Amino acid sequence: MMMRLLFWLALAVLVIFAIRSKVRAAARAQAEAPRPNARAEISAESMTSCAHCGLHFPASEAIHADGLDYCSPAHVRLPPP
């Protein structure tokens, strides 16, 4: 009877630890995940291309929408040719 109790206790502790480590990993991933716009601004010296017309231009001048870069507001959210 005592062994059974210990088994369930150990199982409960294991489950709690598993959940805690999972939650912590998720929180860490969220904290480290860079916002798309922040990363694009860091690499401002690099070139990017318009998702609509394919024009190459400095990434610092890009208009960001839905994780894509566009050369001008007129091309934002337009599909590729």
> What is the contact surface with Zn ion in residues (CB under 5 A)?
50, 52-53, 55, 71, 75
For 65, the enclosing helix (H) or strand (E) is strand 63-65
Tell me how far, at minimum, the Cβ of 53 lies from Zn ion, in Å.
Answer: 3
Place of tokens 């839905």: 66
d(CA 44, CA 63): 12
Tell me how far, at minimum, the Cβ of 58 lies from Zn ion, in Å.
Answer: 14
28/56 with CB nearer Zn ion: 56
22/56 with CB nearer Zn ion: 56
d(CA 66, CA 32): 20
